[in-house]
Amino acid sequence: MTSSSGTGGGTGIVMMNLGGPATLDDVEPFLVRLFADREIIQLPWQDVLGKFIATRRAPKVRKLYEAIGGGSPIRRWTEAQGEAMCRRLDEMSPETAPHRFYIAFRYTTPFADDALQAMKADGITRAIAFTQYPQWSCATTGSSLNDLWRALDRTGLKDAFEWSIIDRWGEHPGFIEAMAGAVEDGLEDFPEAERDDVMVLFSAHSLPLSIIDRGDSYPAEIGASVSRVVQAIGLRNPHLVSFQSEVGPVRWLGPSTEKVIEQFAKSGRKNLLIVPIAFTSDHIETLSELDIEYAELAHSLGMTGFRRAPALNVRTEFLDALADIVAQHLAARTPWSPQYVTRCPGCTNDQCRGIPSRVVSGPTGCRTAASEQKSSVSQVTPRAATRTVAAPAVTH
């Protein structure tokens, strides 16, 4: 049985995200890793076709990163967010201090292995896997968590930390307040006389339809975030949800943001506010796709008022929200959200909803079977939680 006592060495918070190439030289290896991951996209002959798509795509994507300053700012934003979050947490929760953040990107450095080794070197024993995707998807948070658990094996650190997971927070009041503030700022950017006429388009990164068909909760969670933001503002403008950034030869969830913009422009609508509802900072999808590509499209079709709501980046309400999410999680001493055990009905990935061998135990004993686990990675199911999965194969 793992200890559930205090956090003597402080608390390590692993901020998990997709990551982005820091330099133009990093673009191709980043894309190669992304298209090799069967949890984010499934391709026939993945090894060959994934590499082919990545290398063919790299020159075009390099130009896009060049246009936004030569690399992704996602690491810079994550570091600024992590620092501010930990400063707040040290004050809010002295009993679990010091709080330190560690970045685990999925397709570029620093990887999960780097985060684990740095935590070990810092003497951390209590660790939180904190997804930076507000809404759950097996393709994003699921892939990052599975890789984190595999990294425990790769680094030989499977018994080094006592874990819990913040697996989603798309309806957290602090996140909603921060998003609502960003939408209000975006609306205020329009001349007052035109403000009521603005269509608000909540745009989220799309997912392949094969993932949706398995029952991934992402679209429902996006809808829930949007609905809460709309309620929080008391938004009277018409609004719609759409999906962006489709890549690769698979079918994607629509309606496509690009097509919606096109349709609105052609119908004579002049004012549109795009709100990136599934991203927490600026990166290529906001700075290039929304601000350059879609803005040019809108203007070319005569849409004069095309704007984007600011990304959350280091918005004060958002930094408060990050700290609040972690503080509430620490106080609750629950190992994960109730939704974490609900696998997609069509899921065939043996690694899905894995847990590490050492998991924090909650006050009500709600942690099911981690103490009986033999492997470093096991699967959680509400009833069969003691099942051990050795060297699981990804078959999504």
Ligand X SMILES: C=CC1=C(C)c2cc3[nH]c(cc4nc(cc5[nH]c(cc1n2)c(C)c5CCC(=O)O)C(CCC(=O)O)=C4C)c(C)c3C=C
Q: Is 324 a catalytic residue?
A: yes
Residue type, 140: T
Q: Which two tokens stand for residue 384?
A: 């069969």
Backbone angles phi, psi at 159, to 5 degrees: -105, 10
Which residue in 205, 228, 308, 358 binds ligand X (CB under 6 A)? 205
Which residue in 13, 14, 22, 40 binds ligand X (CB under 6 A)? 40
Q: Which of 167, 291, 324, 396 is catalytic?
A: 324
Q: Transcribe 180-236 into DSSP letters.
A: HHHHHHHHHTS-GGGGGGPEEEEEEE--BHHHHHTT-SHHHHHHHHHHHHHHHHT--
Instruction: For ligand X, give the closer residue by CB, 30 or 264.
Output: 30
Closest approach, Cβ 207 to ligand X, in A, equals: 5
Per-state percent for the chain, helix, strand, coil, to nearest 5: 45, 15, 40
**372 annotated binding-site participant:** no
Instruction: For ligand X, give the closer residue by CB, 134 or 305.
Output: 134
What's the farthest any 2 CA atoms get from each other in the chain? 65
Q: Which of 99, 172, 283, 329 is catalytic?
A: 172
CB < 8 Å & 24+ apart, contacts of 218-223: 218/135, 218/136, 218/137, 218/139, 218/140, 219/253, 221/134, 221/135, 221/136, 221/168, 221/170, 221/171, 222/135, 222/170, 222/277, 222/278
Cis peptide before 21 (omega within 30 of 0): no
312 binds ligand X (CB under 6 A): no
Instruction: For ligand X, give the closer residue by CB, 72 or 376.
Output: 72
Instruction: Tell me if 182 sits within 8 A of 312, measured CB to CB.
Output: yes
Residue 365 CB partners (closer than 8 Å, separation 6+): none
Instruction: For ligand X, give the closer residue by CB, 34 or 360.
Output: 34
Q: Which two tokens stand for residue 48?
A: 């060959």
Closest approach, Cβ 142 to Fe ion, in A, equals: 5
Q: Is 145 helix (H, G, I), strand (E, B) or coil?
A: helix
Of the candidate spans 283-291, 307-315, 335-343, 352-360, the one that interacts with ligand X by CB under 6 A turns out to be: 283-291
How many residues make contact with ligand X (CB under 6 A)? 24
Question: Rounded to an integer, what is the distance from CA 381 to the centroid of its chain?
Answer: 23
What span, in angstroms and rounded, lies between the C-alpha atoms of 57 and 366? Answer: 46
For residue 170, the partner it binds in ligand X, Fe ion, none, with Cβ less than 5 to 8 A by kind, is none
For residue 138, the partner it binds in Fe ion, ligand X, none, with Cβ less than 5 to 8 A by kind, is Fe ion
Interface pattern 113-152 for ligand X (x via CB under 6 A)? --------------------x---x-xx------------
Pairing of strands 354-356, 377-379: antiparallel
Instruction: Tell me if 388 sits within 8 A of 373, measured CB to CB.
Output: yes
Closest approach, Cβ 177 to Fe ion, in A, equals: 26
Which residue in 13, 14, 16, 41 binds ligand X (CB under 6 A)? 41
Which residue in 16, 61, 128, 148 binds ligand X (CB under 6 A)? 61
For residue 137, the partner it binds in Fe ion, ligand X, none, with Cβ less than 5 to 8 A by kind, is ligand X
Q: Is 172 a catalytic residue?
A: yes
> Among residue numbers 321 through 360, which ones bind Fe ion (CB under 5 A)?
344, 347, 349, 352
211 binds Fe ion (CB under 5 A): no
Closest approach, Cβ 281 to ligand X, in A, equals: 8
Q: Which residues pair with 164 in a beta bridge?
A: 128
208 binds ligand X (CB under 6 A): yes
Instruction: For ligand X, give the closer residue by CB, 59 or 156.
Output: 59
Residue type, 372: E
**83 annotated binding-site participant:** no
Residue type, 172: H
For residue 347, the partner it binds in ligand X, Fe ion, none, with Cβ less than 5 to 8 A by kind, is Fe ion
Active-site positions read 172, 324
Binding residues for Fe ion (CB under 5 A): 138, 344, 347, 349, 352
Question: Could you list the residues that contact ligand X (CB under 6 A)?
Answer: 18, 20, 31, 34, 40-41, 57, 61, 72, 74, 133, 137, 139-140, 205, 207-208, 247-248, 278-279, 283-285
Binding residues: 205, 285
